[in-house]
Chains A and B, each alone.
Chain A
Amino acid sequence: MSSFQGRLLIVDLSTRTFRTEPLDASYCREYLGGGGLATRLLWDLSRPGVDPFDPDNPLVFAVGPLTGTMVPAASKYAVATKSPLTGFIGDSLSSGAWPLALKRAGYDALVILGAAEAPSYIFIDDDRVYFRPARTLWGADSWETEGRIRRDLGDESVRVATIGPAGEKLVRYACIGNDYSRQAGRTGAGAVMGSKRLKAIAVRGTKPVQVADVETLRRVSLDLYARSQGAATAKYRVLGTPANVLALNALAALPTRNFRQSTFEGAERVSGEWLYERYKAKVVACAGCSIGCDHIYRVSDGPHAGTQVGMEYESLYALGPLCGVDDAAAVLRSAELCDRYGMDTMSTGASIAWAMECYERGLISREETGGVDLRFGDGAAVIALVEQIGLRRGLGQLLGEGVKRAAETVGGGSGRWAMHVKGLEMPGYEPRSLKTLALGLAVGTRGACHNRSSAYEVDLSAKVDRLNGERGRGALAMIQEDYSAVLDSLGLCKFLRRCFDAFYSEASELFRAATGLEMTAEELQRVGERVSNLKKAFNIREGWTRDDDTLPERIFEEPLPTGIAKGTRLTREELATMIEGYYEARGWTNEGLIPPEKLAELGLEI
């Protein structure tokens, strides 16, 4: 008995055919599932140099080995593809009932190849796959699509992962949404799905998931349920991730007005506390999660009445402080529109913030904005731009390309305030006052991502001086990155991480109880290193060079103007020193390449 289903489902949209393949048993140990397995399958199936919108660019979904069991916070999937935003690996995670359904349909992974001739959706009904027309769904927003597909199939238990109009119109940061309030948000997997004219993936899974050792699994799970009601998860359960707003503001680490500041005078009015007090409707959980972090907010009066949306800190940061907006209801409305259009709230907010700065400096005219007075602080202007991007109208034509490409088009020095790494817009943590994070963002394989790196945890741990970078941060950032890769490959939510006392040995016990496979703590840790290296190898294959590991110019040129970190800067030398330390810790060359010995050591015969 094993919680792996042992099968991959491969769907070819061009030929309207599907087949299953056994899951390579060695992959179970080497990549576990989720992010690791999706990365490996992408590596295996991807043609080097493929255009992200070419039908040959595979779209790979993988669930975790613990998904479908009673282990809490394990209903996650990863989706990997070559990113249209970065041209490197795009791997994104989401959770909810959809991955649970995919697992219960009998699969550990789903590979989408080719492209449909006309708009379509697929319906995976356990062992069968149906190709269905989506002509009338094309143009429908994500939430509407979910409901309409359930009605079309006549089954409320069907789970749907879908794109919105943004994905159809190839907004480079379009996301895939599932179960209404969850999104595989970053790096544009939704645009790749749109390029395949695949509107949605509906799944009905009715099979059991088996485990090797029922008693151990039940005991450890119940223990984790109890632990996950304690202090380790209080932040997520009580205020949710918006609790970060005031915490980061106090640390001068809350990016504001396109990173011109790291404190926001309006922080309180968009804080987790403010939202909770005025707008909280309900706290819900993903399928199989004992924590319950998803705060759904409802606006019942004022100009944005009727808005109802789940909101995380990163969405709040990007559509709020980053655009100088302190009108919480307007931010909620912007987030709802992003979810409905199906696009990454973070890249959307960052693109608008970049455009606001261009507008202020006279590089974008009022004519180009369609009459919108695009000033920092104007919540209505943000909403108007979200609509333009989502429907790819007006300035949305440009902004849907992401800030890197938009700045290349607009010119005039606007690249200096295009806040991205490798094309992926920045998350809501200030690199100048969180130096380990700065390193993590610079070397990140999917670009500026706080989650894959998790290096901010080092800065917030008080074990280092967060305002000063040094060579030793390389090893610390690496440990965090590998740890994140293991969580993502097990399909465990990061919000559960503090419930473990000794993560690797406890995870090893859970993995054995579920799958029957013995993996030592060291072997599990090694998986993280292998996955991190494979992502890097993918990027090298796609033309990565040392110059890609850097940060936006503003970060080097402008010291922070306010807050307790006032005057703090990050110099190019400081970052270079940390990067050298990182390459060294990884066992890579000075140029950041992976030597053959390292590949051999990790068993990466690629």
Chain B
Amino acid sequence: MYRRHIVCDPAECTGCRLCEFACALEKTGSFDLELSRIRVAAPQPAAAISIACQLCEGVPCVVACPRQALSVRAEDGTIALEKGLCTGCGWCIEACDFGAIALDPGTKSVVICDLCRELPEPRCVESCPKRALSLSPQSAVAGRLRKKAAEQLLKES
């Protein structure tokens, strides 16, 4: 399975939250930012990163669901929700280490990033003005970090 997720480069992220606006509009038709599948976290004024579903191998959210409402899509590893089974209990929200799951108070069920799988490119990636977001496999993230480290090392030596 070619498993990719939304990756944010914190060096480029300004914390502007335009990814949240773009996601909310795509998913809800309005700027209902509570339902954005991607959220910016800024632990202090000089740091920001946006976070969406990491497509974890161990799928703690799926494991936590007491009603088997969540499952992994075989084709891309995104998390699928069987709406009829979800009661909005929030166990998956607590199980997610990244805070990447939100509860829709309207439908009483949860919402999770699906990488805008019907679109050529996820809306958040398309909208990021700083190109801080990309759709990448985990291996590419490590590769990019290696390259950065190498550049730094070679510059210093």
Contacts and interface: CB of A to CB of B under 8 A. Distances in A.
Interface of A: 1, 68-70, 72, 97, 104, 180-181, 206-211, 214, 218, 222, 225-226, 228-229, 281-292, 296, 298, 308, 310
B16 interface: yes
A284 to B, nearest CB: 5
B129 interface: yes
Contact of A296 (B18, B28, B33, B45): B45
Interface of B: 14-18, 21-22, 24-25, 28-34, 42, 45-48, 126-127, 129-130
Most buried by B among A69, A70, A181: A70
Nearest to A70: B21
Contacts of B30: 1, 208-211
Contacts of A291: 129
Contacts of A292: 14, 16, 129-130
B127 A285 contact: no
B129 A228 contact: yes
Given A104-B33, A210-B31, A283-B14, A180 B45 contact: yes
B103 to A, nearest CB: 11
Contacts of B18: 70, 72, 225, 288-290
Given A209-B31, A214-B29, A284 B45 contact: yes
A209 B20 CA distance: 13
**Majority SS at the chain B contact face:** mixed
B34 to A, nearest CB: 5
Given A181-B45, A291-B129, 16 more contacts: A70-B22, A70-B31, A70-B127, A72-B129, A104-B33, A208-B28, A208-B30, A208-B33, A209-B30, A209-B32, A211-B30, A225-B127, A225-B129, A284-B48, A287-B17, A289-B18
Most buried by A among B15, B22, B29, B42: B15
Contacts of B29: 214
B49 to A, nearest CB: 12
Contacts of A207: 32
Most buried by A among B17, B22, B29: B17
Contacts of A222: 126-127
A218 B29 CA distance: 11
B112 to A, nearest CB: 19
A161 to B, nearest CB: 15
Contacts of B48: 282, 284
B154 to A, nearest CB: 22
A225 to B, nearest CB: 4
Given A69-B31, A70-B127, A222-B127, A285 B46 contact: no
23 contacts: A68-B31, A70-B22, A72-B129, A180-B45, A181-B45, A208-B28, A209-B30, A209-B31, A211-B30, A218-B25, A281-B46, A282-B46, A284-B15, A284-B42, A284-B48, A285-B14, A285-B15, A288-B16, A289-B16, A291-B129, A292-B16, A292-B130, A310-B45
